[in-house]
Structure 1
Amino acid sequence: MLRACSLNPLSAFRTCRGIHSTAAKQAIPVQAEPKEKRVARWTPKSIRTGVIARKRGMTAMWDDQGARHPVTVLQLDNCQVTANIKSIRKDNTEYHAVQVAASDKREKNTTAQMMGHFKKANVGPKQIVKEFPVTPDAHVPVGTTLSAIHFVPGQFVDVIANSIGKGFQGGMKRWNFKGLRASHGVSVSHRSSGSMGAHQDPGRIWPGKKMPGRLGGVRITTQNLKVVRVDTALNLVFVKGCVPGVDDAHVMVRDAKKVMVALAQHNHAKALFEKVLPKGVDDLPFPAGTQELAKTLPPVIEAPSTRTSPFLPRE
């Protein structure tokens, strides 16, 4: 296993350019490098696309200091780019996005309209299609297969999914109400919500009152989850903590907006270049981490522990 601090995903794309003398430049004019061969680099102002993964379940990991951490295993299931979107808003600003699809689907169960869309992108039919807003420099070629190396161990991500539906629940489970007294004088109303409103004035219950109702089954974003391990052989991403959704459900994973995108722009504007990316992360694959890039890297990459050993003396 390698540490995240030694990972530089773009090192495989760097090329050395020769230095020509003045006489050589006069004899042979140097042509500009084609745009398709130029290597794009990640900048703090860049916003990359996200991926669609499947939640495979939770397990535990131990870091090099012996600390135990609960992690959730996310697997990329043949995640491919199906379109690059560019549109003009009403205020004449440009909207850029990358459309991603995942999980193969039978052709007979796919509508003719979606089959035409997938054939245009030269990919097979998929179960789920989502789009991620990006910056103009972060478009990905259509048909590209994304890999788990899109996320570098040590960085933070946001996971978006529908939460588990709990059905109709009372106020204590839905809103964490304390409940009534479990002693004399309350009878059989220990778990009731209590008083709902006033008497004659206003004579009704205010809108938005926390009351019993349906719990769960809504879109939830879990923010700032740390990527602790990446398995490129099985396309697995191990994130620290829990994510919404049931097992095998599709989830959307993107760079954390607060501690990755916003913080990078803030520190870069203050010239704090060593704090642009999290500790141990040198660079991010840009515009995306592909299968071709994964073949040039070790199959398993793990982030180093941020804890200090309790057995070593402090400096």
Structure 2
Amino acid sequence: MHRVWALAQRSPLYTCRKFHQSVVVHAEAESSTSFVAKWTPKSIRTGVIARKRGMTAMWDEHGARFPVTVLQLENCQVTANITHARKDNSEYHAVQVAASDRPLKTTTKQMSGHFKKAGVPPKRLVKEFPVTPDAHVPLGTTLSAAHFVPGQFVDVVANSIGKGFQGTMKRWNFKGLRASHGVSISHRSAGATGAHQDPGRVWPGKKMAGRMGGKRITAQNLHVVRIDNALDLVFVRGCVPGYDGAHVLVRDAKKKQRVLYEKVLPKGVLDLPFPAGTEELAKTLPAYRRCTVAADDEPLRT
């Protein structure tokens, strides 16, 4: 009651001062929202959800053949912007992304209401990517392959192909025992796994037979060699975990971005699409963009 009485007895001057402060804060917030953010090496953009379409080969300017994996964005759209306070009073910011349309009759009522609120059709996969406070994307925005730039590095996260219970030679590349004399029906066995009476047990973490694959794997620092804006294709150099047709998460390389600031972008590229590469941006760019090998004194051609 004393607190209520104290609030009622506040002077008009105090009330006007608080109102003036709130107006200033609101005006500052409006001015900050109207400011167009620009990408920096410390910025963390949202990732995208893509499908692994398979592998093929490409050749560089010197005629050397190298393998590439084809990733395709399948109607990848933003469904939510997440912001909440942690226990240490820091803020967590993330962008929720969904991809691959699905029928409405196979979608739960809760998720169908969530998609309806975002203004997007029902999706099969929903993931969120942590971002910096200035990298939030409006709801319903359709992300495209123009989100990435040829020449940059990305991390691809997916579940590896499960291979079931496998022996030590397949799972850990053990050499095995002798294939000729002195071994009886145990050519592919692991051999000795422990000591005698001391310690009298198998040490934890010993490489033995067991279930292989089916784990969440992150392929780091993959080089983007080509972008197809017409078909929303991203060509990355090297292999990507998962089977053909599986969903994968593609984001900017963390280690390259945080450690090698001067090597985040290729030559001739000033910045990345920020806060994201949208479908509208892809329409203003060429259909094909490829990274080519250039000398140190020549700009990168895309």
**Please, what TM-score do these two structures have when normalized by structure 1?**
0.81
**Is 1:294 matched up with 2:288?**
no
**Is 1:165 matched up with 2:153?**
no
For residues 256-296 of structure 1, the C-alpha deviation after alignment (integer angstroms, 9 at most, x for no partner) is: 111134322xx5xxxxxxx4523343210000000111111
CA distance in 2, matches of 1:202, 1:63: 56
* 194-203 or 277-286: bigger deviation: 277-286
Contact 1:47 1:261 in 2 (8 A): no
CA distance in 2, matches of 1:171, 1:125: 44
For residues 144-170 of structure 1, the C-alpha deviation after alignment (integer angstroms, 9 at most, x for no partner) is: 000100000000000000000111100
Q: 1:210 aligns with which of 207, 212, 221?
A: 207
Q: 1:74 aligns with which of 71, 75, 80?
A: 71
Contact 1:155 1:260 in 2 (8 A): no
Q: 2:232 aligns with which of 235, 239, 245?
A: 235
Using the TM superposition, give the Cα deviation of residue 35 of structure 1 relative to its aligned residue in structure 2, in angstroms: 5.3
AA partner of residue 74 (structure 1): L
**Is 1:278 matched up with 2:275?**
no
Contact 2:42 2:257 in 1 (8 A): no
Aligned-residue RMSD, C-alpha:
1.6
Using the TM superposition, give the Cα deviation of residue 65 of structure 1 relative to its aligned residue in structure 2, in angstroms: 2.7
CA distance in 1, matches of 2:169, 2:199: 25
* 225-234 or 254-263: bigger deviation: 254-263
Using the TM superposition, give the Cα deviation of residue 304 of structure 1 relative to its aligned residue in structure 2, in angstroms: 1.4
CA distance in 1, matches of 2:200, 2:41: 55
CA distance in 1, matches of 2:250, 2:257: 13
Note closer, same or farther for the CA distance 1:34–1:90 as it changes in structure 2 (3 Å cut).
Answer: closer
For residues 95-136 of structure 1, the C-alpha deviation after alignment (integer angstroms, 9 at most, x for no partner) is: 110000000011110111111111111111000000000000
CA distance in 2, matches of 1:263, 1:243: 23
Contact 1:48 1:286 in 2 (8 A): yes
Partner of 2:93: 96
* 276-285 or 116-125: bigger deviation: 276-285
Partner of 1:59: 56
CA distance in 1, matches of 2:294, 2:201: 54
The answer to which structure, 1 or 2, has the higher relative contact order (CA under 8 A, 6+ apart) is 1
Structure 1 unmatched runs, 5+? 1-32, 268-274, 309-315
Q: 2:140 aligns with which of 134, 139, 143?
A: 143
**Is 1:304 matched up with 2:292?**
yes
Aligned-pair identity in percent equals 76
For residues 199-236 of structure 1, the C-alpha deviation after alignment (integer angstroms, 9 at most, x for no partner) is: 22222212221110110000000011100010001000
